């Protein structure tokens, strides 16, 4: 009888990135995103014009980020997600304004 060792492959969290971005911008964004509480739920990231970014979560929530402090925006998103169950959209494109649908 032979012993076999089987290693379970953990599910990998791949994020699809699209749009126009530099490798430095992508690296900086990814580092900040990876520190967010909802990182494992991100499915797609689309870099839009005017340095705006759209995140698509696995639970079908669309998050629109603006061109200002990402860490602050990630904290806001985390607070909103934790307090709301049925969301479609979180729009933070304009600083000081939050649109939730």
* Burial category of 73 from C-beta neighbours within 10 Å (exposed 0-12, middle 13-18, buried 19 and up): buried
Residue 8 Cα to chain centre, angstroms:
26
Query: Per the domain annotation, does 61 fall within a domain?
Result: yes
Q: What value does the mean pLDDT take over residues 1-15? A: 59
In total, how many domains does the chain have?
A: 1
Mind listing the pLDDT tens digit for each residue in 64-94? 999 999 999 999 999 999 887 789 999 999 9
Share of the chain above pLDDT 90, in %: 74
Q: CB 62: neighbour CB atoms within 10 A? A: 16
Mind listing the pLDDT tens digit for each residue in 17-58? 999 999 998 999 999 999 999 999 999 999 998 889 999 999
Query: Per the domain annotation, does 38 fall within a domain?
Result: yes
Domain extent, residue 91, equals 16-100
pLDDT surpassing 60 at residue 95: yes
Query: Per the domain annotation, does 87 fall within a domain?
Result: yes
Query: Per the domain annotation, does 55 fall within a domain?
Result: yes
What is the model's pLDDT at position 84?
A: 79
96: left (phi over 0), alpha (psi -120 to 50) or beta: left
Query: Per the domain annotation, does 31 fall within a domain?
Result: yes
């Amino acid at each position: 009888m032979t012993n076999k060792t089987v290693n379970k492959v953990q599910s990998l969290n791949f994020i699809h990135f699209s749009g126009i971005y530099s490798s430095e911008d992508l690296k900086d964004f990814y580092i900040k995103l990876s520190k967010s509480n909802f990182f494992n739920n991100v499915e797609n990231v689309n870099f839009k014009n005017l340095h705006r970014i759209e995140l698509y979560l696995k639970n079908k929530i669309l998050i629109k980020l603006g061109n200002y402090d990402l860490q602050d925006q990630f904290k806001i998103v985390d607070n909103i997600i934790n307090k709301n169950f049925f969301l479609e959209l979180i729009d933070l494109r304009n600083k000081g304004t939050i649109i939730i649908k």
